[in-house]
Structure 1
Amino acid sequence: MPDIAIIAGTGALPRLVLEALAGDAFVCGVEGFDVALEGVPCAGGAVETFRVERLVPFLDSLVDRGVTRVVFAGAMQRPTLDPALFDRATAGLVPRLLGAMQAGDDATLRAVIAIFEEWDLEVMGAHEIAPDLVPEAGVLCGTVSPVDAADVKRAAQIVQALGAADVGQGAVVAGGLCLATESLPGTDAMLAFSAVHSGMKQGAKGVFFKAPKPDQDHRIDLPAIGPQTVVNAAEAGLAGIAWQAGGVMLLDREGVVKAAQDAGLFLWARDENADDSLATSAAATGDAR
């Protein structure tokens, strides 16, 4: 039996992690949220669901079946909790979790990691299981103009400030002006807002930048970009998408690159310590590794 369990949310990431493990993992999801594995078999034959109100019995069950490692994968929303369903042991964790939730998403996730580790479960990042999901620094396609590079740099500064306040992981900047920032509704909502308000760009195309929050634990909630992100960025009339190199996963890399090429967008894994002027010359070399 496998010694690893995937705590799965929605989206493509759980399937990609399961594929990287050749199906040799238990897949567990919060009751009420669909987990799409698209035909990839998993240990036990099906996704096991659990309720947050019964977290301690769930953790005990993982240990009992020999699980020693867990990986969180996919988007997860805060479930609606039913006080009547709490067992005594899980109820004892509520004050701790509520305090973390009031401090923000990052604090909540750190608290969750700490609880799993108290059951001697090693928490791993999805990128540790499937390292090919994280591109190395470089321009994957398209050309980054000096104007684009300046907008990306400005967006990176904004995202760092947002992340320090535990608010979001993305921003859209056009001509040096911030058009939108990511908050609780997420990336798609931010890009949809940018599309509706594209007239505010005053002739500039603009860029979308994404990065983890400062000091974020990369084992959980690492930002991700998929083909639909590219489509949404194109509909907003942006010149391209950039992200912090080593800090963002590409879900379906081939599909992401093709979508960007079809739409004429650049994709840039930006090394925050590198000279941004290198981006244009890097683009001429073609696809980054």
Structure 2
Amino acid sequence: MTRTAIIAGEGRLAPLVAAALDAPLIHALEGFAPPIPATPFRLERLVPFLDHLLDQGVSRVVFAGAVRRPRLDPEAFDPRTAQLVPRILQAMQSGDDAALRTLLDIFEEHGLSITSVAEICPDLVPGPGILTGDPSAHDQRDAARAAQILAATGALDLGQGVVVAQGLCLALETLPGTAAMLDFAALHGGLRPDPDGARGVFYKAPKPGQDRRIDLPTLGPDSVTQAARAGLAGIAWEAGGVILLDRDEAVRRAQAEGLFLWSCPPLAG
């Protein structure tokens, strides 16, 4: 029997993953409590934590939920984890993707396989199709332009979202996150060249070359509300590469606001 541990983060994803599994162990990085009971652990004691998982019969791990970079306490490292410090710090200085890949490597080196949210909850990752609304030809061009922008910025390890209106980049997701990006787009909507033209598209996609077992972009009903507040025409994302939480409510809000939701095939070539 395969026993699974969830490394749970903030947000609504971890409870959905837990509900799809048979008696998983649930742990959370200290300081990032998920909305379900979870046993905390510290990154400074990573090796003893991995030993604990193996002692409990865990053979695979799934990461579910949002976590920001923790502040590390040099005095809290145990001797075995301390040997990993140069490797961890070098990866963290190289960007989020490098840090996550290093973390996955360490888990696997200790005999734990990593599985993706998409494997456990495939219904959370929509395939190609329009869920609601009707993106215009202008919207489709803006989505394609957005995909090109994310493909170009992926090597810089920036965010996974962008807002494009009338072919111009209105906002790009960076460290403050998606909500801050959409707030910025709302504040600067008047920069659209044609006030009566295309309103713009919020687009999400994984970074090129990203390990899709962890940190997939996530959308949900709140994303729809924020996109509507920014005056956008709709939301598009790369099919098979983005988690959509509470699909029915997201569609309901999009219909109420007159937004389209489009899970599109890869647009960046």
TM-score (ref. length: structure 1): 0.89
Q: What are the superposed Cα offsets for residues 74-133 of structure 1, whole Å, 9 maximum, x if unpaired?
A: 001111111111101111111001111111111110000000001110100111110000
1:213 & 1:33 partners in 2: Cα distance?
A: 24
Which residue number in structure 1 is paired with residue 3 of structure 2?
A: 3
Which residue number in structure 2 is paired with residue 278 of structure 1?
A: none
Q: Does 1:98 align with 2:97?
A: no
SS of the counterpart of 1:262? Answer: helix
**Matched letter for residue 141 of structure 1:** T
Which residue number in structure 2 is paired with residue 14 of structure 1?
A: 14
**Matched letter for residue 210 of structure 1:** K
**What pairs with 1:22-33 in structure 2 (closer than 5 Å)?**
22=22, 24-33=23-32
**What pairs with 1:89-238 in structure 2 (closer than 5 Å)?**
89-202=80-193, 203=195, 204-238=198-232
Maintained 8 Å contact 2:133/2:260 = yes
The 10-residue stretch of structure 1 (237-246 or 265-274) with the greater mean CA deviation from structure 2: 265-274
Which residue number in structure 2 is paired with residue 41 of structure 1?
A: none
1:73 & 1:162 partners in 2: Cα distance?
A: 25
Q: What are the superposed Cα offsets for residues 233-280 of structure 1, whole Å, 9 maximum, x if unpaired?
A: 000000000001110010111111111111110000111269xxxxxx
**CA shift at 1:2, angstroms?**
6.7
The 10-residue stretch of structure 1 (2-11 or 67-76) with the greater mean CA deviation from structure 2: 2-11
2:142 & 2:233 partners in 1: Cα distance?
A: 10
SS of the counterpart of 1:78? Answer: coil
User: Which 5+ residue runs of structure 1 have no aligned equivalent?
Assistant: 38-45, 275-289
2:265 & 2:32 partners in 1: Cα distance?
A: 36
**Matched letter for residue 76 of structure 2:** L
**CA shift at 1:146, angstroms?**
0.5
**Matched letter for residue 31 of structure 1:** E
Which residue number in structure 2 is paired with residue 264 of structure 1?
A: 258
Q: Does 1:239 align with 2:233?
A: yes
Maintained 8 Å contact 1:2/1:26 = no
**Matched letter for residue 245 of structure 1:** A
SS of the counterpart of 2:263? Answer: strand
SS of the counterpart of 1:4? Answer: strand
After superposing on structure 2, the runs of 4+ consecutive aligned residues of structure 1 that deviate more than 2 Å are: none
Root mean square deviation, CA, Å = 1.3
1:273 & 1:159 partners in 2: Cα distance?
A: 11
**CA shift at 1:164, angstroms?**
2.2
Maintained 8 Å contact 2:144/2:267 = no
Q: Does 1:253 align with 2:244?
A: no
Maintained 8 Å contact 1:2/1:25 = no
2:130 & 2:149 partners in 1: Cα distance?
A: 21
Q: What are the superposed Cα offsets for residues 192-213 of structure 1, whole Å, 9 maximum, x if unpaired?
A: 1001111112323100000000
**Matched letter for residue 158 of structure 1:** I
Q: How many residues align?
A: 265
1:225 & 1:162 partners in 2: Cα distance?
A: 20
1:32 & 1:183 partners in 2: Cα distance?
A: 22
